[in-house]
A and B are shown apart, each in its own frame.
Chain A
Amino acid sequence: MARIAVGRSIPRVDADEKLRGAAKYLDDNRLPDCLYGVTVRSTIAYGTVKSIEFDPCCPWKDTVIARAVDIPGENCVAAIEADQPLLAPGRVMHPMEPILLVAHPDRNMVWQAPRHVKITYEEMEPVLSIEDSLSAKQLLRGQDNVFKSYLIEKGDIKKGFAAAEYIVEGEYRTPPQEHAYIEPHAMAAWVEKNGTIVVMGSMQCPYYVQKALKRIFPGGNIRVIQAVTGGAFGGKEDYPSMLAGHAALLAVKSRRPVKMLYDRAEDMAATTKRHPSVVRHRTGLTKDGKLVAQDIDVVFDGGAYLTLSPVVLSRGTLHAAGPYECPHVRVRSRAVATNTPPNGAFRGFGAPQTLFAVEAHWEKIAAETGLDPLKLRRKNLVKEGSCLATGQVLRESVGATEVLERCVKDSAYEKKRRRYAVLNKKPGPVWKGIGLALVHHGPGFTGSGEVMLASRAAVSLDRAGVVWVLAATTEMGQGEITVLTQIVAETLGLDPALVRVAAPDTDRVPDSGPTVASRTTMIIGGILMKAALKLKDKVALELGSFPTTAKGLECAGRRLAAKGEISFEGVYEKPPDIQWDENAYKGDAYGVYGYEAIAVDLEVDRTTYEVKVKAAFTATDVGRAVHPAMVRGQIAGGTVQGLGWALIENPVFSKGSMANNQFTNYTIPTFTDAPSLTLEIVEKPYSRGPFGAKGIGELPHNAPAPAVVAAVRNATGLLIPDLPVLPEKICHEFIRKKGRTQ
């Protein structure tokens, strides 16, 4: 059937105002009479505040100062637990922890305030690494510093190893990664005449912010509005709750509107990062390379507070065995506490770390057994009917084979491997290498998460005949407004121009859950389809048929919505055959998975060991591409972020604090770092996704890093098991190898 909207790359709904420079990001909104707020932060990693002194030379009478004692309700930023304070009440758990807030009418003056607040501390020995935390010499949390642990068991790991011809062990490490959205965190707050606290800002999850503020301001009426958001990638999932609490606290105390705008340095040093990880693999294989045992140990550094670590770890754990079938699997995982700023959500949410390990481990296996990494993947990858580590049987929409073969063909992988082997033996300025990775990603919340969220979204018709999409789902660049427009338009048989998406405002839209976990198209799109069908049925019942022209809709609006818009809500309903046991960690961890294969073609300079990615080829199973150009945009963006993580993004921490918190020395890929990309979309429709669609946002970030490691090994013969693959590491590895052979 020809489609009106779905499957077509229509102009992005938000493109016009963004291309004119007319889109209003938070700081583009003028707030009359507003103050500017700044945060005074801890300069130590661990200890207690002894005294706070205000420099008497400063005109403090012109400022508004808010401290922990000014908080009317609980001093917490509620997420999974409420262990993180809004303002450190005395004990400091990490560098850059907020201690007090200052607001002033002059945005150029207020920045100087923190320098004139002298805080003295009684310092304690901080825990600054995963190893320190596991040693439990200094206890930050419970008796073992462990925030959360999981265990997945399938078959009998001992039996598996007993049947193995080869047993290969490896350890893989990944660093924190900065989101580097180009718009730093920004939030405004004010109090309405009726006492309602309004916050507006750059955020992913308006209802998370509202939930957190309700505990800080109990009994208060709280309205949260998303401003146009200049990138997020997970970085604006939980931290905006903190910032909103700060802005609202200053607004309540000063009775004036308050804007809080982080500059780049503060944003990088204070806000969340991707969890650093250490993952160990012990793998048993038969003589011909069939997996018989996978024993995997995962440790994530959660930072100083629990925040989102349990769920990040959960996703990491559930993806740790890769898109492969193995009869005997054990995955043990822990998230531990350290005195560093809490790590949080970042595109992939734990999966890139564990998939890096399992994919890079194929190279170790290949090195030790002499088997070919491509053949190993072909032999073990999941197909329809395969059973994952949790016992989940994959019933449909399994594109692993298709994406792998497509990618191998597009990239001429096998031919290049042969060619580079010859080329690299000859003299020349560079070594060439090509490497593969195959990954999966489960879109939507893990396990019973979607059931607990019980997300709602609505479609309405107003008096003017406009069809509205009402959802708390936020646009952060991924194209949500356009995709939801397409899904509703297609369902109603309308031109997309006749459908509008309401701006996320907790006073106007229902709680559709957070805009995270690659869930928007698949989950919210599905709920909206149901809501749209209800509207269609109602209108058709009243008028005989559902109009599909602007004129017809106007007429319908006048007749049916004269006294107010008619609105129909959809709620998430779990398909009955999806079963998940939270306690045993068994069953259908995700309703479905997306699959991607990537081949990275690169050069390593023989003198400087600098790695230059020349091209990347991806093939991605997205179920159904609702908007092919934006799907490619997601894949391209995720790929380049993944390449940055793999090669150049190198956060340096000193005493628990990020030392290179600038774009000058924390470098992200530029136009010239990014390679030319060949992006293939593979469609294996998912029966439960709207028009067959599966989530796509995070999947592309999972693939590039292990493919880089494989390609560098192909080029140099060296396996670099910790990211980023810097020239220094290649150099050290050469020296180490030489030392050994001499």
Chain B
Amino acid sequence: MAREACDKALVITVNGRRRAYKGPPFKRLLDVLREDFGLTGAKEGCGEGECGACTVLLDHAPVASCLVPASQAEGRRVDTVESLARSKALSPLQKSFMEEAASQCGICTPGILLTAWSWVKSGGSADPQAIREYLSGNLCRCTGYQSIVDAVVKTVRRSKKESLIRRQVSPHDYLPPRGGGK
């Protein structure tokens, strides 16, 4: 009964704010974010978890929100691109993307920023090949990827230098399961 709303509201912590969603529990998290919560940063590029344009962080791990039913996010933490810039100022990752002109048409950018952010946050290395592997679930048709890799390398180097990263977690904690899409 995917289309029937359940009586109980689902509570999801979105960008640090507890929000209630009342509607069909199998509605895609992507649609809940865009339609019910008005957060349109996550985009639908393919609807089958291939392109990564809809990537959000679910309890810090990147997921394709087009493949996640709302009920699966209940009681959990979801972070979208809207959470990256805390105020007027862009985050260090966003600044690096700006400096490297790493966003062209921009439709893949929110998803790539979130996957990249989970890499940086978890203490990922500045090795371009490792970054490419980690980001390989996000497609971009404009940039040829080079400028994005450069921007992430730059962010990692800066953050290590300024020791902005306090919580050290292995990046492998966030690696998507093999063959599991994102």
Task: Please encode chain A, from 19 to 55, with 1 for each CB lying within 8 Å of some chain B CB and 0 for all others.
Answer: 1111111011000000000000000000000000000
With A670-B136, A671-B132, A672-B133 given, is the CB distance from A21 to B98 under 8 Å?
Answer: no
Chain B residue numbers with a CB within 8 Å of A672 are 132-133, 136
Q: Say how far A17's CB is from chain B's closest CB, in angstroms.
A: 8
Asked if B104 and A479 make an inter-chain contact with CB atoms under 8 angstroms apart, the answer reads yes
Asked if B107 and A19 make an inter-chain contact with CB atoms under 8 angstroms apart, the answer reads no
For residue A642, which residue of chain B has the nearest CB?
B144
Chain A residue numbers with a CB within 8 Å of B50 are 662-664
Chain A residue numbers with a CB within 8 Å of B101 are 9, 12, 15, 479, 627, 629-630, 633
**What is the CA–CA distance of A184 and B48 in the complex, to the nearest angstrom?**
14
Chain B residue numbers with a CB within 8 Å of A78 are none
Asked if A21 and B41 make an inter-chain contact with CB atoms under 8 angstroms apart, the answer reads yes
B82 at the interface (CB under 8 A from A): yes
Asked if B47 and A20 make an inter-chain contact with CB atoms under 8 angstroms apart, the answer reads no
Asked if A228 and B141 make an inter-chain contact with CB atoms under 8 angstroms apart, the answer reads no
A199 at the interface (CB under 8 A from B): no
B29 at the interface (CB under 8 A from A): no
Within 31-51 of B, Cβ neighbours of A (below 8 Å) are at 34, 39-48, 50-51
Chain B residue numbers with a CB within 8 Å of A669 are 145
Chain B residue numbers with a CB within 8 Å of A263 are 47
With A12-B98, A676-B128 given, is the CB distance from A264 to B40 under 8 Å?
Answer: no
Asked if B141 and A664 make an inter-chain contact with CB atoms under 8 angstroms apart, the answer reads no
Asked if A19 and B94 make an inter-chain contact with CB atoms under 8 angstroms apart, the answer reads yes
User: Which of A11, A108, A182, A635 lies in contact with B141, CB distance below 8 A?
Assistant: A182
Asked if A670 and B139 make an inter-chain contact with CB atoms under 8 angstroms apart, the answer reads yes
B65 at the interface (CB under 8 A from A): no
Asked if B82 and A21 make an inter-chain contact with CB atoms under 8 angstroms apart, the answer reads yes
User: Which of A9, A231, A641 lies in contact with B107, CB distance below 8 A?
Assistant: A231
Asked if A636 and B103 make an inter-chain contact with CB atoms under 8 angstroms apart, the answer reads no
Q: Say how far B174's CB is from chain A's closest CB, in angstroms.
A: 16
Chain B residue numbers with a CB within 8 Å of A184 are 45
A610 at the interface (CB under 8 A from B): no
With A12-B101, A18-B103, A20-B85 given, is the CB distance from A633 to B143 under 8 Å?
Answer: yes
A632 at the interface (CB under 8 A from B): yes
Asked if B147 and A636 make an inter-chain contact with CB atoms under 8 angstroms apart, the answer reads yes
Chain B residue numbers with a CB within 8 Å of A24 are 40
Query: Which among B4-12, B108-116, B155-163, B165-173 touches the partner chain?
Result: B108-116
Asked if B43 and A25 make an inter-chain contact with CB atoms under 8 angstroms apart, the answer reads yes
User: Which of A19, A641, A668 lies in contact with B113, CB distance below 8 A?
Assistant: A19
Asked if B142 and A16 make an inter-chain contact with CB atoms under 8 angstroms apart, the answer reads no
Asked if B43 and A182 make an inter-chain contact with CB atoms under 8 angstroms apart, the answer reads yes
With A21-B82, A182-B53 given, is the CB distance from A264 to B45 under 8 Å?
Answer: yes
Asked if A21 and B105 make an inter-chain contact with CB atoms under 8 angstroms apart, the answer reads no
A677 at the interface (CB under 8 A from B): yes
Asked if A641 and B106 make an inter-chain contact with CB atoms under 8 angstroms apart, the answer reads no
Chain B residue numbers with a CB within 8 Å of A22 are 41, 82
B97 at the interface (CB under 8 A from A): yes
Chain B residue numbers with a CB within 8 Å of A604 are none
B90 at the interface (CB under 8 A from A): yes
**What is the CA–CA distance of A672 and B128 in the complex, to the nearest angstrom?**
10
Interface bin, chain B? 35 or more
For residue B93, which residue of chain A has the nearest CB?
A19
Asked if A231 and B141 make an inter-chain contact with CB atoms under 8 angstroms apart, the answer reads yes
A477 at the interface (CB under 8 A from B): yes
A180 at the interface (CB under 8 A from B): yes
Chain B residue numbers with a CB within 8 Å of A12 are 98, 101, 103
**What is the CA–CA distance of A15 and B151 in the complex, to the nearest angstrom?**
14
Asked if A230 and B147 make an inter-chain contact with CB atoms under 8 angstroms apart, the answer reads no
**What is the CA–CA distance of A685 and B170 in the complex, to the nearest angstrom?**
50
With A629-B101, A633-B147 given, is the CB distance from A668 to B109 under 8 Å?
Answer: no
Asked if A11 and B136 make an inter-chain contact with CB atoms under 8 angstroms apart, the answer reads no
Asked if A19 and B98 make an inter-chain contact with CB atoms under 8 angstroms apart, the answer reads yes
Report which residue of B45, B47, B128 has the largest number of chain A beta carbons within 10 angstroms of its beta carbon: B45
Interface bin, chain A? 35 or more
With A183-B45, A229-B105 given, is the CB distance from A28 to B141 under 8 Å?
Answer: no
Asked if B81 and A21 make an inter-chain contact with CB atoms under 8 angstroms apart, the answer reads yes
**What is the CA–CA distance of A446 and B99 in the complex, to the nearest angstrom?**
35
Within 445-479 of A, Cβ neighbours of B (below 8 Å) are at 476-479
Asked if A183 and B105 make an inter-chain contact with CB atoms under 8 angstroms apart, the answer reads yes
Within 368-412 of A, Cβ neighbours of B (below 8 Å) are at none
Chain B residue numbers with a CB within 8 Å of A171 are none
With A19-B98, A20-B90, A671-B138 given, is the CB distance from A636 to B106 under 8 Å?
Answer: no
Chain A residue numbers with a CB within 8 Å of B104 are 231, 477-479, 633, 637
Chain B residue numbers with a CB within 8 Å of A517 are none
Q: Say how far B143's CB is from chain A's closest CB, in angstroms.
A: 5
Within 50-71 of B, Cβ neighbours of A (below 8 Å) are at 50-51, 53
A527 at the interface (CB under 8 A from B): no
Asked if A16 and B90 make an inter-chain contact with CB atoms under 8 angstroms apart, the answer reads yes
Asked if A663 and B46 make an inter-chain contact with CB atoms under 8 angstroms apart, the answer reads yes
With A15-B97, A263-B47, A663-B139 given, is the CB distance from A181 to B105 under 8 Å?
Answer: yes
For residue A635, which residue of chain B has the nearest CB?
B144
Q: Say how far B145's CB is from chain A's closest CB, in angstroms.
A: 5
User: Which of B81, B99, B105 lies in contact with A182, CB distance below 8 A?
Assistant: B105
A640 at the interface (CB under 8 A from B): yes
Chain A residue numbers with a CB within 8 Å of B20 are none
B135 at the interface (CB under 8 A from A): yes
Chain B residue numbers with a CB within 8 Å of A181 are 105, 107, 141
Chain B residue numbers with a CB within 8 Å of A21 are 39-42, 80-82, 109-110
Asked if B43 and A230 make an inter-chain contact with CB atoms under 8 angstroms apart, the answer reads yes
Asked if B136 and A477 make an inter-chain contact with CB atoms under 8 angstroms apart, the answer reads no
A349 at the interface (CB under 8 A from B): no
User: Which of B46, B81, B108, B144 lies in contact with A20, CB distance below 8 A?
Assistant: B81
Q: Say how far B172's CB is from chain A's closest CB, in angstroms.
A: 17
Q: Say how far B28's CB is from chain A's closest CB, in angstroms.
A: 10
For residue A230, which residue of chain B has the nearest CB?
B107
B175 at the interface (CB under 8 A from A): no
A691 at the interface (CB under 8 A from B): no
For residue A10, which residue of chain B has the nearest CB?
B101
With A28-B40, A668-B139 given, is the CB distance from A16 to B106 under 8 Å?
Answer: no
Asked if A663 and B48 make an inter-chain contact with CB atoms under 8 angstroms apart, the answer reads yes
Report which residue of A263, A633, A662, A669 has the largest number of chain B beta carbons within 10 angstroms of its beta carbon: A633
Report which residue of A9, A21, A632 has the largest number of chain B beta carbons within 10 angstroms of its beta carbon: A21
Q: Say how far B4's CB is from chain A's closest CB, in angstroms.
A: 13
**What is the CA–CA distance of A478 and B146 in the complex, to the nearest angstrom?**
15
Q: A21-B40, A21-B42, A663-B45 are in contact. List 7 more A-B contacts (CB 8 A).
A: A12-B98, A25-B107, A108-B3, A183-B105, A233-B141, A632-B146, A662-B46
A-B residue pairs, 4 tightest by C-beta? A21-B41, A477-B105, A230-B107, A18-B106
9 contacts between A and B (CB under 8 A): A19-B97, A20-B41, A181-B105, A182-B45, A479-B104, A633-B144, A669-B145, A672-B132, A676-B128
